[in-house]
Amino acid sequence: MKIANHRLSRSVLSVALGLCLASAVHGQSVTGSIFGSAPAQEGTTVVVKNLETGLTRTLPVDSSGRYRVPSLPVGRYKVVLERNGTEVGVRDEVAVTVAGGTQVDFAGKGEELSTIQVLANAAPAIDVSQVDTRSVFTAEQL
């Protein structure tokens, strides 16, 4: 009887340790997000489409002109600004990385988007959408 109890307690301990390890692995994020600002006008929405899988999400811009699309699989996206169903701005080839946020802003009132401003530097932009810090390097960066 004592041997059976010992085996049972050992099995319970093994299962408990396995669940602890599984929850630690499960806690690792494999998604990213897209966030930014756009004109805060009635009927303004942001459509995010994964260029590889076709996954599409549509959400409204809030009253302060902000939007956030969380839990996106890693990949390349097209971000479209629409007003009452009409496309008024597009950002192609937006990269979403593991556990990171990518900022995509739309200028002014959303009607004058003919000017393109390109800014680049070696350091990644500061992600203000999350409270922790990490560095993720893509194959292109390596």
Give the separation between CA 100 and CA 21, rounded to whole angstroms: 24
Q: Single out the residue of 89, 55, 51, 91 nearest to residue 72, CA to CA.
A: 55
Query: Residue 60 above 90 pLDDT?
Result: yes
Q: Is the predicted pLDDT of residue 109 greater than 60, yes or no?
A: no
Q: Given this model, what pLDDT does residue 127 score?
A: 64
Q: What is the pLDDT of residue 111?
A: 46
Q: How confident is the model at residue 38 (pLDDT cuts 50, 70, 90)?
A: very high
- Within 13 Å and on the Cβ side, how many CA atoms surround 53? 10
| Model confidence at 13: pLDDT above 60 | no
Cβ–Cβ under 8 Å, residues 46 and 61: yes
> Global pTM?
0.61
Class level of CATH domain 31-103: mainly beta
Domain ranges of the chain: 31-103
* Secondary structure (3-state) at 133: coil
Q: How confident is the model over 71-101, as pLDDT tens digits?
A: 999 999 999 999 999 999 999 999 999 888 9
